[in-house]
């Protein structure tokens, strides 16, 4: 079991973020006899997944919805699948947008380098 500080360090996030996720019921840590938050390896894996969802622009409201469906149990599998498929489609759109932006930037960079090399 890990403390909140240890988990924050492992995941590269703040303890404030972990407390926020708990407040929003995205994660439910175990409490020890003193009432301190304790996290096991399953919590850490779950948080790694949550962080990836956040990094790929899934809104907190949808992450909360997904987390609540997980807690509800197996009968929510189809709804969870639908949420993840929808998010995957969103990621694919992001990738297309980023690739197009990368191509435009590459074109501009080459043009500037060409211009500079002809000046010299």
Tell me how many degrees the CA angle 80-85-90 measures, rounded to the nearest 5. Answer: 125
pLDDT digit string, tens, across residues 90-111: 999 999 999 999 999 999 999 9
For 28-76, write each residue's pLDDT tens digit.
999 988 988 999 999 999 999 999 999 999 999 999 999 999 999 999 9
Q: Which domains does the chain have, with CATH numbers?
A: 4-119 (1.10.1660.10)
Question: Is residue 38 helix, strand or coil?
Answer: strand
* Predicted TM-score of the model (pTM): 0.81
CA–CA separation, 20 and 107 (whole Å)? 42
Please choose, from the candidates 34, 31, 37, the residue with its C-alpha nearest in 3D space to the C-alpha of residue 7.
37
């Amino acid at each position: 079991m890990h403390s909140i500080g240890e988990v924050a360090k492992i995941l590269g996030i703040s303890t404030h973020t972990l407390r926020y996720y708990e407040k929003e019921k995205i994660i439910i840590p175990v409490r020890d006899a003193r009432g301190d938050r304790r996290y096991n390896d399953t919590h850490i894996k779950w948080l790694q997944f949550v962080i990836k969802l956040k990094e790929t622009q899934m809104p907190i409201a949808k992450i909360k919805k997904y987390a609540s469906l997980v807690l509800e149990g197996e009968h929510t599998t189809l709804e969870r699948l639908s949420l993840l498929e929808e998010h995957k489609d969103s990621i694919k759109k992001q990738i297309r947008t980023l690739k197009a932006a990368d191509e435009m930037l590459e074109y501009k960079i080459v043009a500037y380098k060409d211009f500079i090399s002809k000046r010299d």
